[in-house]
């Protein structure tokens, strides 16, 4: 009997729960920070992932930045260029990035079908509108939250209210030299 693939939401967020990076708080690591420990965990996560679900805005942001990185030693560029990307959009026609498929269909039905296929983990990052719909449909299996030691006070949050927060079990917590903490929760 086949089991569903794991759908993992990975988000960067502030201590006060903001995931909206438009306020300029997000930085993978400061110029002087040794982020090799953080890069190592990202590498392990990327190895388990063979598909990435994105909304159009996050996809276009990634497409404009990552393929142009020529001296990326983190492996993120290679991963994003090679992983199968599913971008959900009713307006995008040509993704203009290798291994990318534009999906203009029912998000929940399409992701359910993707989860039913054989393969590794399916990742979702950024793409808050997509993530909210996946949470509402009960399709998220795991949350990997990189919590940055920053408070911004305003902006969109992963869980907009108590009623939108699923039941979660903390299954792992790690800290990094930069002050970032990774909290991993399983949806129960």
Give the chain's domains with CATH numbers.
Answer: 7-21+34-187 (3.40.430.10)
Looking at every residue in the chain, the average pLDDT score rounds to 90
Burial zone of 143 (CB within 10 Å; 0-12 exposed, 13-18 middle, 19+ buried): buried
The pTM assigned to this predicted structure is 0.91
Q: Determine the pLDDT at residue 73.
A: 87
Lowest mean pLDDT among 29-43, 74-88, 144-158: 29-43
Distances (CA, A) of 101 to 64, 95, 149: 16, 7, 35
Give the list of residues 6+ apart from residue 184 with CB closer than 8 angstroms, or none.
142, 143, 144, 145, 170, 171, 172, 173
Q: Is the pLDDT of residue 30 over 50?
A: no
* pLDDT average, residue stretch 155-164: 82
Supply 128's token pair.
Answer: 């808050």
Q: Determine the pLDDT at residue 31.
A: 43
């Amino acid at each position: 009997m086949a089991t569903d693939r794991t759908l993992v939401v990975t988000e960067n967020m502030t201590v006060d729960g903001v995931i909206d990076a438009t306020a300029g708080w997000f930085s993978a690591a400061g110029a002087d920070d040794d982020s090799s420990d953080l890069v190592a965990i990202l590498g392990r996560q990327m190895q388990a992932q063979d598909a990435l679900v994105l909304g159009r805005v996050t996809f276009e942001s990634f497409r404009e930045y990552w393929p142009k990185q020529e001296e990326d030693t983190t492996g993120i560029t290679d991963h994003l260029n090679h992983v199968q990307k599913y971008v959900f959009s009713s307006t995008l026609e040509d993704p203009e990035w290798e291994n990318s498929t534009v999906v203009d269909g029912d998000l929940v039905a399409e992701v359910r079908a993707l989860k039913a296929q054989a393969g590794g983990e399916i990742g979702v990052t950024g793409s808050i509108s997509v993530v909210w719909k996946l949470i509402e449909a009960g399709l998220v299996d795991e949350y990997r939250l990189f919590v940055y030691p920053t408070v911004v006070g305003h902006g969109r949050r992963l869980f907009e209210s108590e009623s939108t927060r699923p039941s979660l079990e903390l299954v792992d917590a790690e800290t990094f030299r930069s002050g970032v903490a990774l909290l991993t929760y399983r949806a129960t």
